[in-house]
């Protein structure tokens, strides 16, 4: 069984030029599959607001939502390093509240680390969390919780001033004790420069090839939504949305046509039980062939789950 990574091993991966793979997961099955696939880090992202809960932004996501989903992920990926997002306005509002909210995510959710969006303006709270023993991952560039302030989902770091601010934010987070930083929608040269400057790993999403690791959203790499909207920064590795839609459509057709359930999906009964219901008459005889199917090949499943 493989061992869960730690913040020390993640930092060593940067030194060894061993790229870090991170992907979001939001529930038990996605966590199990991600761990089985050999993923380094699971992010329980507040992107669950968009891809699981159907909101337009991550802003409505609550602390309780994050705790609920982190718990499910923690049950499914016991040997994978799990980072959970602190949602909108649960930090940056004073040290005491930030620490209390962070404690709930760690204790009730079961995450190994927390991710916070923002740079210099949250550095002192990042420092307080780290002092309290909570590993913190930073997140700069396009920070979706500030989408209204940023004026939309725009690439960051195209202009001199933006590049300078990104570098300043990254250094402030590292100085505050963050163990890694997500760079979202940052131009490739600026992300590369930041990655070279920092001793902690950078994990890019739409930030090019110079980062120390990559993160994407589970539903994006699997096209697990409808309609699926293409994004330049995403590579899709499977089309699960179409697979699920086609499967459900076949199920609907077969139920309507009476093709499901077929005989192999049904369970027989003992002749005495059938005779009893039919009063031992002709109908009972015609139904007695039901008894021959009593020994279903899936009997163990039935007895365990009934
Ligand atoms: O919430 C999320 O999924 C994220 C990633 C986009 C980095 O923060």
DSSP codes, 266-293: -----HHHHHHHHTTSHHHHHHGGGGGG
Q: Taking residues 266-283, report their average pLDDT.
A: 84
For the chain, helix (H) and strand (E) counts, in that order, are 14, 8
Mutating to test ligand 1, I would choose from 23, 30, 45, 191 the residue with most ligand atoms within 8 A of its C-beta, which is: 45
Task: Identify the H or E element spanning 117.
Answer: strand 113-117
Residue 221: name the closest of 197, 205, 243, 237 by CA.
237
Query: Is residue 40 within 6 Å of ligand 1 at its C-beta?
Result: no
144 to 60, 155, 245: CA distances (angstroms): 12, 12, 29
* Whole-number average pLDDT of the chain: 92
Residue 172: name the closest of 122, 136, 211, 134 by CA.
122
Model pLDDT for residues 112-161, shown as the tens digit of each residue? 999 999 999 999 999 999 999 999 999 999 999 999 999 888 999 999 99
Q: Are 155 and 208 in contact (CB under 8 A)?
A: no
Q: Known binder of ligand: residue 40?
A: no
Peptide bond into 150 cis (omega under 30): no
What does the alpha-carbon distance between residue 3 and residue 146 come to, in Å, rounded to a whole number?
Answer: 36
Higher pLDDT, 54 or 2: 54
Q: Which domains does the chain have, with CATH numbers?
A: 7-221 (3.20.20.60), 261-305 (no CATH)
Q: Taking residues 224-240, report their average pLDDT.
A: 92
Q: Does the pLDDT value for residue 300 go beyond 80?
A: no
For residue 25, what pLDDT is reported?
Answer: 98
Q: Does the pLDDT value for residue 246 go beyond 50?
A: yes
Token pair of 302 as six digits: 């039935």
Q: Are 218 and 25 in contact (CB under 8 A)?
A: yes
Query: Is residue 220 within 6 Å of ligand 1 at its C-beta?
Result: no
Query: Is residue 141 within 6 Å of ligand 1 at its C-beta?
Result: no
**Which one from 35, 174, 184, 192 is the annotated catalytic residue?**
184
- 188 is an active site residue: no
Q: Are 217 and 45 in contact (CB under 8 A)?
A: yes
Q: Does the pLDDT value for residue 281 go beyond 80?
A: no
Percent of the chain with pLDDT over 70: 91
| Beta-carbon-side half-sphere exposure of residue 3 (alpha carbons within 13 Å) | 5
Model pLDDT for residues 3-60, shown as the tens digit of each residue? 999 999 999 999 999 999 999 999 999 999 999 999 999 999 999 999 999 999 999 9
CA torsion, ordered 77, 4, 208, 18, to nearest 10 deg:
-150
Q: Taking residues 212-238, report their average pLDDT.
A: 94
| Beta-carbon-side half-sphere exposure of residue 83 (alpha carbons within 13 Å) | 30
Q: Known binder of ligand: residue 85?
A: yes
245 to 33, 107, 223, 269: CA distances (angstroms): 20, 38, 12, 35
Model pLDDT for residues 61-101, shown as the tens digit of each residue? 999 999 999 999 999 999 999 999 999 999 999 999 999 99
Query: Is residue 169 within 6 Å of ligand 1 at its C-beta?
Result: no
Q: For the chain, what's the residue count?
A: 306
For residue 288, what pLDDT is reported?
Answer: 46
């Amino acid at each position: 069984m493989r061992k869960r990574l730690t913040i020390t091993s993640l930092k060593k991966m940067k030194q060894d030029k061993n790229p870090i793979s991170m992907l979001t997961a939001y529930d038990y099955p996605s966590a199990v599959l991600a761990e089985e696939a050999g993923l380094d880090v699971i992010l329980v992202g507040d992107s669950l607001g968009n891809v699981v809960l159907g909101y337009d932004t991550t802003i409505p996501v609550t602390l309780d939502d994050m705790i609920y989903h982190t718990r499910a992920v923690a049950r499914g990926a016991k040997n994978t390093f799990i980072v959970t997002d602190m949602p909108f306005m649960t930090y940056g509002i004073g040290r005491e509240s930030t620490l209390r909210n962070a404690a709930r995510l760690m204790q009730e959710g079961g995450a190994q680390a927390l991710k916070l969006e923002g740079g210099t303006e949250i550095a002192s709270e990042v420092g307080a969390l780290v002092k309290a023993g909570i590993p913190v991952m930073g997140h700069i560039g396009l920070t979706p919780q500030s989408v209204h302030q940023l004026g939309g989902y725009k690439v960051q770091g195209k202009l001199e001033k933006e590049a300078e601010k990104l570098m300043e934010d990254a250094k402030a987070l590292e100085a505050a004790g963050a163990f890694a930083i997500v760079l979202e929608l940052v131009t490739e040269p600026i992300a590369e420069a930041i990655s070279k400057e920092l001793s902690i790993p950078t994990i890019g999403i739409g930030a090019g090839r110079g980062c120390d690791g990559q993160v994407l959203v589970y539903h994006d790499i699997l096209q697990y939504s409808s309609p699926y909207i293409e994004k330049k920064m995403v590579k899709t590795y499977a089309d699960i949305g179409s697979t699920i839609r086609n499967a459900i459509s076949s199920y609907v057709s077969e139920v309507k046509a009476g093709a499901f359930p077929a005989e192999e999906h049904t369970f027989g009964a003992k002749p005495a039980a059938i005779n009893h219901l039919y009063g031992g008459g002709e109908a009972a005889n015609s139904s007695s062939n039901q008894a021959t199917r009593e020994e279903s090949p899936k009997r163990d499943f039935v007895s365990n789950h009934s």
